[in-house]
A = this chain, B = another copy of it.
């Protein structure tokens, strides 16, 4: 389907509560372990989502509306969350608070259909539209929910014994861009 603002907002509004329901109160054996050297824990992913909320989505939407292609987006630092946050509960609270603020800002932009076709410049990908940015915001939530479910499942990789043959999540390598 094409990007639809109400569908995008509906998804974006649900992610904090979904992560909260999944992660709050789980032991650190689930949430602080990663998939090996150089990979992220579920806690790290929440930190990355917080950092994106502060520096990525709404700032880029405003850049498009204010300057179009004249000034490319500031680069987003994927590891920019490092050192932020101490434990899962406060990080989940912070993500929910920031997401709610972001959606309030999005609403105040009062976007018209023609605004969604406005263009901006990504430092690596080149010309993109506001519609693509908003679709990516939602899909980015989903890529990290996909990652968190994989990180958690990885902790039971040995424990499931022969059933590993049936569990697709254990064969997912993350597919991340290098």
B-binding residues in A (CB < 8 A): 1-4, 6-7, 10-11, 14-15, 17-23, 25-27, 29-30, 33, 122, 125-126, 128-129, 131-133, 135-136, 138-140, 142-143, 145-147, 149-150, 152-153, 155-156, 158-163, 165-172, 174-177
Inter-subunit contact A162/B11 (CB<8 Å): no
Inter-subunit contact B153/A146 (CB<8 Å): yes
Inter-subunit contact A163/B10 (CB<8 Å): no
Shortest distance from the beta carbon of A80 to any chain B beta carbon, whole Å = 15
Shortest distance from the beta carbon of A145 to any chain B beta carbon, whole Å = 4
Closest 3 CB pairs of A and B: A132-B161, A135-B159, A171-B175
Q: State in angstroms the CA–CA spacing of A3 and B136 once bound together.
A: 36
